[in-house]
Amino acid sequence: MRYHTPSSFEDASALAAAATGVTRFLAGGTDVLVQLRSDLVTPDDLIDIKQIAGVRDITRRDDGSWRIGAAVSGAELAEHEALIAEWPGVVEALELIGSTQIQARCTLVGNLCNGSPAADSVPAMIAAGATVSVVGPEGAREITVEGVPTAPGVTSLGPGEVVSAVNLPPRGKGGGDAYLRFIPRTEMDIAVVGAGVSLSREGDTITAARVALGAVAPTVLLVEEAGAALVGSTLDDAALATLARAAEAACRPISDKRGTVEFRTHVAGVLARRAARIAYDRAGA
Amino acid sequence: MAFDEETNGFKVVGTRPDRPDGIDKVTGRARFGADVTAPGMLHAVIIRSPHAHARIVKINASRAEAANGVKAVVTRADFADGLEGENWNILENLMAGERALYDGHAVAAIAATSSLAARDAARLVEVEYEVLPHVTDVDDAMQEGAPVIREGAADGSVPAGMHPNVVRCHDSGHGDPEEGFAEADLVIEERFTTEATHQGYIEPHACLGTLGPDGRGELWCCTQGHWNVQKVCAALLDVETSKLRVTASEIGGGFGGKTAVFIEPVALALSRKANRPVKLVMPRADVFRATGPTASTSMDVKIGMKKDGTISGASGVFRCQGGAFPGAPMEFTAMCAFAPYALRHVRQIGFDVMTNRPKQAAYRAPGSPMAAFAVESVIDELCNRLGLDPIDVRLKNASREGTKASFGPSWDRIGLVETLEAAKEHPHFSAPLAEGAGRGISCGFWFNHAGETAVQLALSEDGTVQLSVGTPDIGGSRASMCMMAAEELGVPYDDVRTTIADTATLGYNEISHGSRVTYASGLATIEAARDTVKKLCKRAADKWGIDAEAVEWRDGCAIPSGPNAGDFDPMPIKEIASRMGQTGGPIVGHFEATPEGAGVSFATHIVDAEVDRETGATTVTRYTVVQDAGKAIHPSYVEGQYQGGAAQGIGWALNEEYIYDDDGRLQNAGFLDYRIPVASDLPMIDTVIVEVPNPGHPYGVRGVGETSICPPLAAIANAVSNAAGVRMQDLPMRPSRILGALKARS
């Protein structure tokens, strides 16, 4: 195994593009090191991106949008009051992952690129309309978060491509987001179902909404019908019922040791409703 | 009562000093199983079957043996031949013979100069398997046509015509349950199931073993009983017992799971072959796959009750699955089932069933919690339907001193009624319940055990005390031993140091199991201290020139027993100790025996739970443990045992389970998907120590470690069932199961 510490994303990309064996990028390592220890993956090239300038920066741009570096940890995100004020759902989603120790390491980008359909921060990022900045052999590009995962453990990133940052759009007035997950315990668990909702309201009426579901399909789902069910409503019972039905209809889960098809589908509707209520209250606050 | 008064005047017993091992444990100085090294040490890895049931056609280790750093490979051929009985079972379990009997069954082991080299070489061992049909479910394993785990494993207790996987049977009781059911106003019969659960100790099994060509060896390991490890290793490696010295490390949890031997003979076999010390540390996945979880069960319980709450008859059939070997604790399941109740008509039948799963091991009151789940659920349902108070009904039927136990003997002095009365008076029982919450009550019973015990108490020249005991400290017992020695000798707690001695230092000590340590090692400590006091009095008598019988021991001093004995100043222990070399030599007290008189223990638990009707998630909102300790030597550690039993019970009831796929492979061999409760899953667990002294112990001690896990499964199931409005009969009550039950009802 070769261990690299490039000082730029261009160098990181070049190292990955030139590699012939198994390659992994290392930021927090909370997935990679576990895979290494349990003999699931033994990389030939391990490319540590933490030495790259700016990877741990959280920046609010003049237009109100945000750039979150690829190595920003959950603990750092959770202490950023301005970000929490605008995107509490994204922050709470990453914060749910693992223990205090894991929080000191885990990152949004790692959670996304690991490709798990149960990743907690991904539904929240998709609901938020987040994008990622990608550096690759062909240059830089920006793609939506929902465009990254393509199957369990698989992403749309090409050979040599590496994610340098997450971008959140300007929150604007009257916006709120929330993420809820269902786990059998209260902590230290993996989502059986996850639901992220982000919406904007004018007065009591919802003007825009995005709903994303985790752990109910091979990839995290952006459920456009569920978002549409909320737009124009005041989050009345009828809108919530339509939301839940749309969420359930989008589910294509598997039955496994963590939950059955029936359970996951039902709980997806429940969590979508509950997350929508929290987002709505936050948007009105 | 004279005995009660006698046990009320303690100075040290009943106080709460810091445990002597506390500083070492919080600073990291304590040495656990994996914390030792030796010069030239090798690292071992065990190669395990990926199949639930397979014939081992061939093992080719030549490539592994040639790999860099590899010093030894062992298979079954490297262990003793011709073993019988439980020794054969243990060997067959820790290194497969002709067949792999479960997913994770060891087939070979490698020792190499680094753990990485051992892991790399393990991949080079070629094992050819012929996969065989398998069965992992207890009911399936009893069906006609189920794969036979081992022909001829059944003993004479099994009725004719049963499947060969049923290997032992227990049948006891008295009266005629049918007659009892005929007298009842309401009879309920239901089936209950529980899944296998693991003890979930945080420290994986680990050892460092050396066995030389001269047949002499040293072994360091984390175990609940190092004399047992010594005996088993000697048998499996065909060496003489006394040539192997075993030292017990600090232990990071055992709960019964470290009463068994899984890896130590493997490390020693590798060491013998390589002529180097070998360290073996189990990865967590191996702990789940190849050590002993408790039995899973399938149970049918039938109880008849009169309108006034009298239980007129009861019967139960308890099928316990214990993996690919005999030994599931079905007799305990059966015997504990109705033990809290004085019944005219009762019968309990247990079956020990083999499957393609790891060999079960003891887990805290083996077999009892499952029985209580079934029996106490039926009693709760009877109380609900007859409109009766759950504590009053239990009091009405409670076992008392002199009543006949469901499994035969008459009870000595017991404290069940006292726990029920304390529960009834506790504010928890009468606290209003939140909307949608439910409350559950359950009683529980465990026998407790005594066992072979030897201790030694040596006086130092400065008058401080070195106490050697042979029972590994799995619950703060060193503190309790120090306290009992200090109480008898009249010295400060801090003047006594208790050490867990190695196998070369004391006579045989049975394992720390059966909640026996504070009872048996405690009794032995008291007797050894009394033996020491006699010797101290003799030294004072000699000095004073009077009879030893005319000297008493009080507050750490020898004194004349009365005016007739003479007029001498009290002689303190320090003074006697400082001169002992000149007055007859070292002063050492000792005691060796197999005490009889471990008092049984009962408990009553109260649980409140809330159920999220949209997701099926359960929150335990309030929990109170009431248990008879006989006499609490160190109340904090008694309370800790009560809380620990409740916490493990919450995990077992709600989320813990061994999950097998259709291929017979364990799906959740890790703490992510084997869900023990985390701290935020638990309420503060309230405790009430009831003290009904055990006449079989000088201070009245009863074991407390196991009884605390007997009521939780039932108490939580009753709370959840009452909250959800639907009777939960299968554990764990994972959210999907509760949601399914709610949907099925509506």
Over residues A161-203, the pLDDT tens digits come to 999 999 999 999 999 999 999 999 999 999 999 999 999 999 9
B337, B371 contact by CB (below 8 A)? yes
Question: What is the interface pTM, i.e. ipTM, of the complex?
Answer: 0.94
Length of chain B: 746
Q: Is A3 helix (H, G, I), strand (E, B) or coil?
A: strand
Touching check for A84 and chain B: CB below 8 Å?
no
A173 touches chain B (CB under 8 A): no
**What residue type is B274 in one-letter code?**
A
* A120/chain B closest Cα distance in angstroms: 15
Q: What is the pLDDT of residue A40?
A: 87
**What's the CA gap between B549 and B204, in Å, rounded?**
53
Confidence check: pLDDT of A260 > 90: yes
% pLDDT > 70, chain B: 99
Q: How confident is the model at residue B5 (pLDDT cuts 50, 70, 90)?
A: low
Q: Does B119 touch chain A (CB under 8 A)?
A: yes
Spatial CB neighbours of B545, under 8 Å, sequence gap ≥ 6: none
The 8-class DSSP code of residue B181 comes to: H
Nearest CA in chain B to A267: B615
The pair of structure tokens assigned to B15 is 């106080």
Closest Cα to residue A55, out of A168, A142, A164?
A: A164
What crossing angle do the helices spanning A237-250 and A261-284 adopt, rounded to 10°?
A: 140
How close B612 gets to chain A, by Cα (Å)? 11
Q: Are residues A220 and A119 in contact, defined by beta-carbon separation less than 8 angstroms?
A: yes
B4 pLDDT band, cuts 50/70/90, is low
CB B110 within 8 A of CB B121: yes
Chain B hits for A270, Cβ within 8 Å:
614-615
Residues in chain A: 285
Mean of per-residue pLDDT scores for chain B: 97
The pLDDT tens digits for B306-328 are 999 999 999 999 999 999 999 99
For the cut 90, the answer to whether the pLDDT of residue A37 exceeds it is: no
Per-residue tokens: B141: 């394993």
* pLDDT for res A285: 83
* Among candidate residues B462, B279, B356, the one with its CA nearest the CA of residue B105: B356
Option in A258, A262, A267 nearest B673 (CB): A258
Mean pLDDT on B712-721: 98
Tell me which residues of chain B, numbers 595 to 624, contact chain A at a CB-CB cutoff of 8 Å.
614-617
Report d(CA B209, CA B218) in Å as an integer.
6
Q: How far apart are CA B420 and CA B47, in angstroms?
A: 51
Amino acid identity at B309: G
Mean pLDDT, chain A, as a whole number? 97
Distance separating alpha carbons of residues B232 and B626, to the nearest angstrom? 38
pLDDT band at B1 (very low <50, low <70, confident <90, very high): very low
Q: Report residue B2's pLDDT band, with 50, 70 and 90 as the boundaries.
A: low
Q: Which residues of A touch B668 (CB under 8 A)?
A: 257
Amino acid identity of A150? Answer: T
Q: Which of B285, B659, B677 is closest, CB to CB, to A185?
A: B677
Phi, psi for B558 (deg, rounded to 5) = -85, 135
Contact B690, B415 (CB under 8 A): yes
- Tell me how many degrees the CA angle B480-B483-B484 measures, rounded to the nearest 5: 90
Whole-angstrom Cα distance, residue B467 to residue A18?
67
B667 in contact with chain A, both atoms CB, cutoff 8 A: yes
pLDDT in tens, B171-192: 999 999 999 999 999 999 999 9
Map tokens 């739970």 to a residue. Answer: B609
- The domains located in chain B, with CATH, are 2-30+450-593 (3.30.365.10), 42-132+211-283 (3.90.1170.50), 367-448+599-745 (3.30.365.10)
Percent of chain A scoring above 70 in pLDDT: 100
Other CB atoms within 10 A of residue B561 CB: 17
- Read off the pLDDT of each residue in B544-565 and give the average, rounded to a whole number: 95
Say yes or no for a CB contact (<8 Å) between B735 and A182: yes
Site of tokens 């003489």: B240
- What are chain A's domains? 2-168 (3.30.465.10), 178-284 (3.30.390.50)
Of the candidates B308, B73, B342, B353, the residue with the CA atom closest to the CA atom of residue B193 = B353
B141/B5 Cα distance (integer angstroms): 55
Chain B CA closest to residue A186: B681
Question: Torsion-angle region of residue B376: left (phi > 0), alpha (psi -120 to 50) or beta?
Answer: alpha
Query: Considering CB atoms only, which of B668, B678, B739 is closest to A263?
Result: B739
Residue B659, chain A, CB below 8 Å: the answer is yes
Give residue-wise pLDDT tens across range A48-96: 999 999 999 999 999 999 999 999 999 999 999 999 999 999 999 999 9
> What would the pLDDT profile of B442-453 be if each residue is shown by its tens digit?
999 999 999 999
- The answer, yes or no, to whether residue B501 has pLDDT greater than 90, is yes
B625 to each of B8, B637, B706, B707, how far by Cα in Å?
A: 23, 14, 13, 10
pLDDT tens digits, one per residue of A201-211:
999 999 999 99
- B735, A184: Cβ pair inside 8 Å? yes
Residue of A nearest to B677 (CA): A185
Partner B contacted by A186 (CB < 8 A): yes
Are the C-beta atoms of residues A216 and A228 closer than 8 Å to each other?
no
Contact across the interface for B678 and A187, Cβ inside 8 Å: yes
pLDDT of residue B117: 96
- 3-state per-residue secondary structure call for B585-635: CCCEEEEEECCCCCECEEEEEEEEEEECCCCCCEEEEEEEEEEECCCCCCH
Q: Which residues of A touch B659 (CB under 8 A)?
A: 257
Predicted model pTM: 0.96
Cα–Cα dist A274/A280, whole Å: 10
B538 touches chain A (CB under 8 A): no
User: What distances in angstroms separate CA B186 from CA A125, B306, B346, B374, B384, one per listed residue?
Assistant: 58, 7, 16, 17, 11
Confidence band, pLDDT 50/70/90 cuts, at residue B536: very high
Q: Among residues of chain A, what percentage have pLDDT more than 90?
A: 98
SS3 content of chain B, % helix, strand, coil (to 5): 30, 25, 45
Confidence check: pLDDT of B392 > 70: yes
Nearest CA in chain A to B116: A37
- Across-strand partners of A194? A181, A214
Q: Per the CB < 8 Å rule, is A190 touching B659?
A: no
